[in-house]
Amino acid sequence: MINLLIMGKPGAGKGTQSTRLLEYYHLTHISTGDIYREEMAKNSAIGKLAKQYIGKGELVPDDVTNDIVKNVLSTKKFPNGFMLDGYPRTAAQAVALDEMLKELGISLTAVINVEVDDKVLLERMAGRRVCPSCNATYHISFHPPVKDNVCDVCGTVLIQREDDLEESVLNRLRIYNEKTKPLLDYYKKKGLLFVVNGERPKDEVFNTILQRIGD
């Protein structure tokens, strides 16, 4: 049983690494961001409430998020373990998670932090372009399309996602630094924190994590 928590600043490459880790260890994915997106798509009461915060780039209140995770952890099956992604994001959430895990008799295997410098993140996100038609992603310097600003796959003109605009990135980084970063110390004190350099190539980052977690 491997129970992981994956953390990182917005744009650090957490998504890429978690997808690969989920496949490798056959873990159950618990992503609060995904849950909120599903609830918003269903237009449920939780979805409507979450939308007010997510639309402004703010965090959904702790009690709402904690209830959701508690419900998932106590009802969902995770035969090989789980990966919590995007939770906890505040000190209050970390404390609530500890209580939930204690009640359920579950312990965390490791907390992985994909570390990337703020300057590198801004550069990565400022250059990111997506195809509004087929969702293919590009980067103007690191992975440019063959023809300037046009999707290689379907020929649609590329756009910059609102989330990737500098103001939005800076706002999310500010929230991360203020609310989520202190959690790294919290998990370091528990001896659970594993920091991996997210500025290295993706495969290398993945292999470093595997070496730490083991089989």
CA nearest to 7, candidates 27, 28, 33: 33
Residue 186 is a binding residue for ligand AMP (CB under 6 A): no
Catalytic residues: 14, 89, 128, 161, 172
Spatial distance between the Cα atoms of 79 and 87, rounded to a whole number of angstroms? 20
List 60, 131, 158, 183, residue binding ligand AMP (CB under 6 A): 60
Question: 88 with 8: CB under 8 angstroms?
Answer: no
Binding flag, residue 11, ligand AMP (CB under 6 A): no
The rounded distance, in Å, linking the Cα atoms of 105 and 28 is 17
Q: Contact at 8 Å (CB) between 111 and 5? A: yes
Q: Which is nearer to ligand AMP, 33 or 81 (CB)?
A: 33
Contact with ligand AMP (CB under 6 A) among 53, 115, 120, 133: 53
**Pairing mode, strands 128-130 and 137-139:** antiparallel
Q: Measured at CB, which residue is nearest to ligand AMP?
A: 33
Q: Is 96 in the site for ligand AMP (CB under 6 A)?
A: no
Is residue 36 within the footprint of ligand AMP (CB under 6 A)? yes
In contact, 133 and 158? CB cutoff 8 Å:
no
Reduced to 3 states, what is the DSSP secondary structure of residue 129? Answer: strand
User: Is 66 an interacting residue with respect to ligand AMP (CB under 6 A)?
Assistant: no
Is residue 32 a contact point for ligand AMP (CB under 6 A)? Answer: yes
Q: Does 124 bind ligand AMP (CB under 6 A)?
A: no
Residues that bind ligand AMP (CB under 6 A): 32-33, 36, 53-54, 58-60, 65, 86-87, 89, 93
